[in-house]
Amino acid sequence: MAGDVDSPRLEDEEEDDTDWMSREEQGEQTAIPGHQAAPSFSRQWTKSDTASKRVIVHLDMDCFYAQVEMIRNPELRDKPLGIQQKSLLVTCNYVARKCGVSKCMSIKEAKEKFPQLVLVSGEDLTHYREMSYKVTELLEEFGVKVERLGFDENFVDITELVDKKLQQQQNVGILEVSGHVYNNQTVNCSDWTHRRLVAGSHVAADIRAAVHSRLGLTGCAGIACNKVLSKLVSGTFKPNQQTVLFPESINHLINSLNHVKRIPGIGYKTAQRLEGLGLSSVCALQSCPVTVLEKEFGSPMAHRIQQLSRGEDYSPVTPSGPPQSLSEEDSFKKCSTVSEVKLKIEELLRSLLKRLHVDGRSPHTLRLTLRQSSPINRYFNRESRQCPIPKNVIQNPNSEDSFSVLIELLMKLFEKMIDVKSSFHLTLLNVCFSNLKPAQHSNSSRNSIGFYLTQKKLPSTEACQICKDPEVQAEEDPEDTNPSTNVCSVETDHTASLSLPDHIDMDVFSQLPEDIKKEILSSPQTSTIHKSSKSPTPSMCPKGIQNFFRKVSARNPQSSCTAGSSSATEIPEQHPQTMMDSGCTRLSVELTQQSSCKDNESGSSGNDTPCTSSSVCMLGNKQINQCHDTDMDCVESGDSGSASYFPRGVDMNVFSQLPEELQKELMVDWKHKKLTPKIPAMKSQEKVKNTRGQRPNSSAKPNNLLKYFKPG
DNA sequence: CCGGGGGGTT
DNA sequence: AACCCCC
């Protein structure tokens, strides 16, 4: 599409330090071999960054919040439902839309239009967030890269799936499109690109079917050769339908946009600036001399937006992984005393700490954001201050002490922005935990085979996201030397690994596959990888594993935990000196049984998780809680309920060689939610259309990991 | 231009 | 820490 390659003027001359993305994305294409001069971050994606023939799906859930509420309360199904946040109607179901209600109306207006509108408060995002991640995780089960965009949209790169499909069906010309074709274009059976997109439409249909049968959600999909186009085309047929875009109609699609603002990637500010240049139509932007744009926006941005205006988008689908920050906010009409502020902040902090506990990672940064009401310029007057979180709080965020320490910190941050001696008028407060790193574990639970699972390599200057050990890490706190955590010193000396720590059962070790034993006992670079998993079902195979790798490598280009593509040639070589550099390879799977509870219903041990029984599993440095909620299928019980998120730092080379059962155990998602809920709404009204995965009675199953450990 | 998020870059 | 983007 858009044939001309026209290598962009290279005006960017920053050093070529991170070339990681192009390696992963460019596939076999070797255009412009000479210069990959890649500026590290604000780089423009060029054609050489992505294989030219991708198939991208944009999946957009229909009125997401409303759907979630309708699942929570099926009685709302056929009522006109609106979701309310403060005085705004953020979304509404399609019953309501028929009645003239629409998104982003004020509550007042909506009620005027349709007084019988049923309103549900949507200020607490918990349920939406949970469902949102279930969708993403489900998509990842297809073994593809998934990028989240907000709570209700996902990009999925299905290129590999399409390739496989085409290989399988060889010349069997099933060329019926699933769903709509944009602009009613005719399919050209002899066109390869058409065939791939047609195959993509079937994958997209499978995906939507899975999301519907497993989660009870409907949505729209757009299938195209890149992200912008897939996103633009996904909305053409609105509720619960899908549309594929063939290259010949790209111009039709992009030119159907009335304003540059409508192009995803061009936001309010950029659109304003473009208008200032007299460029408000897509057409005008397309034909504007780049130099003009460069003057206004700088070169990278200039090229970016002009490419977008032509429907070109070389940016890869970047796996999102777990959130990089957790925040809670509240807005209000007025808040003008310190005690009020403190109360609000306490509230926000309390719920944040709950979420944090579930998440399992530790935040190293705390931020307070506020918005002051100002007569002029009433929007965008947000300010924030942030500070590091003290070590003791990081280690034990849920203690009584930590709470008050955090509150004190927040109030200090507050006073950095607001002179409490003068009067003030706030309309919003936000508390945010960021810089999330795997939790440190305390001594007692540290030893197990898991000990070997995480992989560490520390770039000398930067803290490794994967390894959290303070001794090794060039942490922001230089004197953060906690003598009690001695993990790395042991591991750094490789021979030390040979003597298994006390807590490890030799029986466990002996049950490991030979490969792993070897790997544990030998240097990391000897490791071999084989895609062991004979996937039980082609499309549902828990290949999210590989995905994890992409996440790590995408986020931590410098870490040694790259790799993860399925092709053996792309396995990253591990540097021999890794060990000497204080890195080490370890497989870290620690498990402690929190109590022998299987029927222990009181659950809420210490906190408010809805568990009826639970166990805690340490993966790498991250604690994972496995909880067995009565309403949910257990992780180890379902064939399809594989989690897709792994703590950073799991060595997939090792992981893939573990016995399948053990793998399943490990695939607990990071926020210890079960993946496949039984949907109440569906149980009651629909017959079980759960085609796959009759799960073999969850509760009876023992925790398979246990057999790898000593009873005590 | 108003909600409660999330992402990224300088 | 401010600014941009997205929903």
Lowest mean pLDDT among A67-76, A127-136, A251-260, A619-628: A619-628
Q: Is the pLDDT of residue A250 over 90?
A: yes
Nucleotide B7: nearest residue by CA–C1'? A149
Q: Is the pLDDT of residue A658 over 60?
A: no
What pLDDT, on a 0 to 100 scale, did the predictor assign at position A630? 23
- Which distant-in-sequence residues (6+ apart) come within 8 Å of A582 by Cβ? A456, A458, A472, A488, A492
Per 3-state DSSP, chain A is made up of helix, strand and coil in percentages (nearest 5) of 35, 15, 45
Say if CB A619 and CB A647 are below 8 A apart: yes
| Interatomic separation, CA of residue A150 and C1' of nucleotide B6, rounded (Å) | 6
Lowest mean pLDDT among A287-301, A441-455, A605-619: A605-619
Task: Give residue A155's pLDDT band: very low, low, confident or very high (50, 70, 90).
Answer: very high
Q: Is the pLDDT of residue A578 over 50?
A: no
Nucleotide nearest to A386 (CA to C1'): C1
Nucleotide B10: nearest residue by CA–C1'? A42
Question: For the segment A212-229, what is each residue's pLDDT rounded down to a tens digit?
Answer: 999 999 999 999 999 999
AA letter at A562: T
A111 half-sphere exposure, CB direction, 13 A CA radius: 8
Q: Is the pLDDT of residue A383 over 50?
A: yes
Lowest mean pLDDT among A155-169, A241-255, A562-576: A562-576
For residues A52-77, average pLDDT: 94
Nucleotide nearest to A325 (CA to C1'): B6
Which is more confidently placed, A146 or A531? A146
What pLDDT, on a 0 to 100 scale, did the predictor assign at position A377? 56
Q: Is the pLDDT of residue A665 over 80?
A: no
* Buried b / exposed e along A301-319 (16+ C-beta atoms within 10 A): bbbbbbbbbbbbbbbbbbb
For residues A115-124, average pLDDT: 93
Nucleotide nearest to A434 (CA to C1'): B6
| C-alpha to C-alpha distance for A365 and A357, rounded to whole angstroms | 16
Nucleotide nearest to A106 (CA to C1'): B2
| Interatomic separation, CA of residue A368 and C1' of nucleotide C2, rounded (Å) | 14
Nucleotide B2: nearest residue by CA–C1'? A88
Protein-strand C interface by C-beta, 7 A: A 149-153, 231, 263-271, 367, 380, 383-386, 416
| Interatomic separation, CA of residue A241 and C1' of nucleotide C7, rounded (Å) | 20
Q: Is the pLDDT of residue A194 over 70?
A: yes
Lowest mean pLDDT among A54-63, A64-73, A607-616: A607-616
Rank A9-23, A331-345, A594-608, A619-633 by mean pLDDT and report only the highest: A331-345
Question: For the segment A432-442, what is each residue's pLDDT rounded down to a tens digit?
Answer: 999 998 887 65
What pLDDT, on a 0 to 100 scale, did the predictor assign at position A301? 87
- Dihedrals phi, psi of A545, to nearest 5 degrees: -55, -55
**What is the secondary structure of A649-678 as a DSSP string?**
TB-HHHHTTS-HHHHHHH---TT---S-BP
Nucleotide C2: nearest residue by CA–C1'? A383
Point out the catalytic residue in the list A153, A491, A519, A590: A153
Question: For the segment A278-336, what is each residue's pLDDT rounded down to a tens digit?
Answer: 999 999 999 999 999 988 888 888 999 999 999 999 999 999 999 999 999 998 888 88
In 3D, which of A578, A598, A597 has the Cα closest to residue A586? Answer: A578
Task: Give residue A596's pLDDT band: very low, low, confident or very high (50, 70, 90).
Answer: very low
| Interatomic separation, CA of residue A603 and C1' of nucleotide C7, rounded (Å) | 35
Tokens standing for residue A223 = 């299938």
**How many angstroms separate the Cα of A315 from the Cα of each of A45, A272, A303, A487?**
5, 24, 13, 39
| C-alpha to C-alpha distance for A456 and A447, rounded to whole angstroms | 17
What's the mean pLDDT when you consider all of chain A? 63
Nucleotide nearest to A367 (CA to C1'): C1
Beta pairing class for A219-224 and A325-335: unpaired
What pLDDT, on a 0 to 100 scale, did the predictor assign at position A128? 94
What pLDDT, on a 0 to 100 scale, did the predictor assign at position A670? 38
| C-alpha to C-alpha distance for A666 and A660, rounded to whole angstroms | 10
For residues A524-544, average pLDDT: 28
Nucleotide nearest to A128 (CA to C1'): B5
Active site residue A153: yes
Nucleotide C7: nearest residue by CA–C1'? A150
In 3D, which of A700, A637, A707 has the Cα closest to residue A668? Answer: A637
| Interatomic separation, CA of residue A56 and C1' of nucleotide C3, rounded (Å) | 30
| Interatomic separation, CA of residue A429 and C1' of nucleotide B1, rounded (Å) | 17
Task: Give residue A272's pLDDT band: very low, low, confident or very high (50, 70, 90).
Answer: confident
Percent of chain A with pLDDT strictly greater than 70: 53
| Interatomic separation, CA of residue A340 and C1' of nucleotide B1, rounded (Å) | 26
Q: Is the pLDDT of residue A111 over 60?
A: yes
Kindly report the bases of strand B lying within 7 A of a protein C-beta atom: 1-10
Query: Residue A378, class by beta-carbon neighbours within 10 Å (0-12 exposed, 13-18 middle, 19+ buried)?
Result: exposed
Nucleotide nearest to A348 (CA to C1'): B4
What pLDDT, on a 0 to 100 scale, did the predictor assign at position A176? 92
Q: Is the pLDDT of residue A416 over 60?
A: yes
Q: Is the pLDDT of residue A150 over 90?
A: yes
| Interatomic separation, CA of residue A435 and C1' of nucleotide B10, rounded (Å) | 18
AA letter at A289: P
Task: Give residue A381's pLDDT band: very low, low, confident or very high (50, 70, 90).
Answer: confident
Q: Is the pLDDT of residue A678 over 80?
A: no
Query: Residue A110, class by beta-carbon neighbours within 10 Å (0-12 exposed, 13-18 middle, 19+ buried)?
Result: buried
| Interatomic separation, CA of residue A336 and C1' of nucleotide C2, rounded (Å) | 25
Q: Is the pLDDT of residue A95 over 70?
A: yes
Nucleotide B9: nearest residue by CA–C1'? A42
Nucleotide B3: nearest residue by CA–C1'? A85
Task: Give residue A198's pLDDT band: very low, low, confident or very high (50, 70, 90).
Answer: very high
Return the residue matching tokens 């066109």: A191
Protein-strand B interface by C-beta, 7 A: A 39, 41-42, 85-88, 90, 104, 123, 125, 129, 150-151, 268, 300, 320, 323-331, 378-379, 427-428, 432, 555
Rank A50-54, A499-503, A561-565 by mean pLDDT and report only the highest: A50-54
| Interatomic separation, CA of residue A86 and C1' of nucleotide B6, rounded (Å) | 20
Nucleotide nearest to A322 (CA to C1'): B6
Question: For the segment A130-144, what is each residue's pLDDT rounded down to a tens digit?
Answer: 999 999 999 999 999
What pLDDT, on a 0 to 100 scale, did the predictor assign at position A52? 60
Nucleotide nearest to A151 (CA to C1'): C7
| Interatomic separation, CA of residue A363 and C1' of nucleotide B2, rounded (Å) | 29
Kindly report the bases of strand C lying within 7 A of a protein C-beta atom: 1-7
Lowest mean pLDDT among A68-77, A354-363, A487-496: A487-496
Lowest mean pLDDT among A131-135, A199-203, A271-275, A538-542: A538-542
Which is more confidently placed, A636 or A252? A252
Nucleotide B6: nearest residue by CA–C1'? A150
Assign A344 to helix, strand or coil.
helix
pTM of the model: 0.63
Assign A503 to helix, strand or coil.
coil
What pLDDT, on a 0 to 100 scale, did the predictor assign at position A674? 29
Task: Give residue A613's pLDDT band: very low, low, confident or very high (50, 70, 90).
Answer: very low
Q: Is the pLDDT of residue A548 over 50?
A: no
